[in-house]
Amino acid sequence: MPRTKTWIERIPLILQHLEVDTQSSYTRLEIQQLFIIGRSQAIDLMRIAGADVKVGTETTVSRDNLRYYVQRSPEAKGFLAELARKRILAEKMRQTSEELRARAIPIPGVKPQDEWTRWRDLPNVAIRPGSMRIAFSAPDDLIHVLWQLSKAIANEPEVFQRMCEGG
């Protein structure tokens, strides 16, 4: 079984360096420092990445070849895919926590069945092009009607569109 490459976790930093650096090629020592690996690993990496240019007595690998290898090696593909999956999951978790915080704010009079409100359930709301009329008896009643209104818009957007257009 092949050994796990020790530099895999550094891929984002390595790629960032390769994107901004103007250096056209890298020596073995520079590869060792960039990837934080030993001499033999650096030689192997250079060979795999396509090192064939000799500058004096020193073998180098081009920045483009190095970047191509780092982005497309099987280990890197797996790591980058996992990194992308974690970012997407973190974003979903952030959105979920924001939604939970918003839902934690109690709205007076809201009942679970209000989630499925339809326009026919809102006799105290009238929409005409350019105006809306909402009849209510108290501030809590207005908040409740506004909540139901938002749910009716979400549940029947085409009816809302027609009402706004005068249809």
Q: Rounded to whole angstroms, how far apart are CA atoms 143 and 57?
A: 79
Same domain, yes or no: 157 and 75: no
Q: Are residues 5 and 23 in the same domain?
A: yes
Pair (10, 74) in one structural domain: yes
| Overall pTM surpassing 0.95 (yes/no) | no
Residues 118 and 90 in one domain: no
Average pLDDT, the chain: 87
**What span, in angstroms and rounded, lies between the C-alpha atoms of 79 and 11?**
8
Domain closes at, from 60, 80, 104: 104
Q: What is the mean pLDDT of residues 135-157?
A: 92
Q: What is the mean pLDDT of residues 69-89?
A: 88
Same domain, yes or no: 90 and 10: yes
Cβ contacts of residue 38 below 8 Å, gap of 6+? 32
Residues 6+ apart with CB under 8 A from 58: 27, 28
The residue that leads in pLDDT, 108 or 70, is 70
At 25 the three-state DSSP class reads strand
Q: Using 50, 70 and 90 to split pLDDT, how confident is the model at 104?
A: confident
- Residues 6 and 76 grouped into a single domain: yes
Both 74 and 129 in one domain: the answer is: no
Assign 150 a pLDDT band (cuts: 50, 70, 90): very high
Q: Do residues 65 and 130 share a domain?
A: no
In contact, 80 and 70? CB cutoff 8 Å: no
Parallel, antiparallel or unpaired: strands 131-134 and 125-128: antiparallel
pLDDT at 167: 67
Beta bridge partners of 132: 127
* pLDDT at residue 6, rounded to an integer: 82
Residue 147 and residue 96 share a domain: no
Query: How is residue 122 written in tokens?
Result: 């809102």
**How many structural domains compose the chain?**
2
Fill in the amino acid letter for 130: G
Name the pLDDT band for 33 (thresholds 50, 70, 90).
Answer: very high
Q: Are 119 and 159 in contact (CB under 8 A)?
A: yes
DSSP state of 9: G
The pLDDT > 70 percentage for the chain reads: 95
Q: Are residues 88 and 123 in the same domain?
A: no
* Structural domain span for residue 55: 1-104
pLDDT digits 0-9 by tens, 35-76: 999 999 999 899 998 887 676 678 899 999 999 999 888 878
Q: How far apart are CA 133 and CA 126, in angstroms?
A: 5
Section 85-93 average pLDDT: 91
Sorting pLDDT into bands at 50, 70 and 90, what band is 103?
confident
Checking if the pLDDT of 1 tops 70, the result is no
Residues 52 and 130 in one domain: no
